[in-house]
Structure 1
Amino acid sequence: MEQHTQARLILGSHRSALLRVTLRYRCEDPLAVRMVFPAEYALDTDPYDPHGPYDPSDPFDTAAAPADRTAPDIEWVFARQLLSVGLEQLAGEGDVRIRPAFGMRTMVELRSPEGVALLQFARADLRRFLWRSHLAVPEGQELRHLDCDRALAQLLA
């Protein structure tokens, strides 16, 4: 299951950018949700990297056209339960923290060695996604959908 939504990436006290986020839920991985962001929002992008994003406005960028230089999207995977709790109260102690915010918004904080990204979502969009994931796999029934042998094989591969 997949749902596209918009988020506001907070860049500073008076700066932000809208970006399209894809929320994903897979019955084969019933305990997790995924947030997928466009590659150009990666925190570890090096502007001097010869394999970095193509900039058509840069007259010195003589590299291949964008079709030849597509970077993979950024995917964050975290517990579905974390999203559920974070819609109501502060949740998370590690790389992903979620909390309600003013005006029916939800804040998602993503931490990595490269930095911190703070995103603001409409709470209704996240609730709709969570509701649809619970239709696919009801809360408390996740282990019935989990293929432990396959999960172990992937972990050990």
Structure 2
Amino acid sequence: MSTVIEQPVQVRLIASAPRMETVPATLRYDPDDPFAVHMAFPAPATLEGTEVSWEFARELLEVGVEAAAGVGDVRVRPYGYDRTVLEFHAREGVAMVHIRTSEVRRFLKRAQHLVPTGREHQHLDMDGDLAALLRDAC
């Protein structure tokens, strides 16, 4: 059984209005999916009124706290002192949040302790995944 890291964080939702609203979110890392990070926003913090979760590469978050990273649905970049901006692009529009870089670094350090960068492949169950894929193909 693997250890899953879940870290509650407060993020500032950047809107077109002059004020920024603080909303809760959760960063999640599961060694069973070693290349990915999940960020979830609870129902009250979303326009749809349902929990929204984004999945993106752990490497994107690691690079994004130092320099702009990402060209797809999720983009990450540093912003001023101890702030990181995450942009989430969807058909409905773009959501941007500020998160404390120190919180992101703490989360990444915990994930790194579980699965060091470059060793992610050791946490994949290739045989099990292949067997499931072949079983589903029949």
TM-score normalised according to structure 1 size: 0.77
- Deviation readout 1:41-100 (Å, 9 max, x if unpaired): 334x2xxxxxxx5xxxxxxxxxxxxxxxxx4x2110000000000000000000000000
How far is the alpha carbon of 1:104 from its aligned partner?
A: 1.5
Given the alignment, which residue of 39, 43, 48 partners 2:43? 39
What amino acid is aligned across from residue 56 of structure 2 in structure 1? F
Query: Is there any run of 5+ residues in structure 1 with no aligned partner, and where?
Result: 46-52, 54-70
The share of aligned pairs that are identical, in percent, is: 46
> Displaced runs of 4+ in structure 1, greater than 2 A?
40-43, 148-154
Question: CA separation in 1, counterparts of 2:78 and 2:64?
Answer: 7
Larger radius of gyration: 1
Residue identity in the other structure for 2:69: A
TM-score, structure 2 as length reference: 0.87
Letter paired with 1:113: R
2:52 corresponds, among 74, 82, 86, to 74
Q: Deviations over 1:9-60 (max 9, x none)?
A: 01125121101111000010000000010123334x2xxxxxxx5xxxxxxx
- 1:12-51 matches, within 5 Å, as 12=16, 14-43=18-47, 45=48
Name the Cα RMSD after superposition: 1.7
Unmatched segments (≥5 aa) in structure 2:
none
Partner residue of 2:113 out of 135, 138, 142: 135
Determine the structure 2 residue equivalent to 1:113: 91
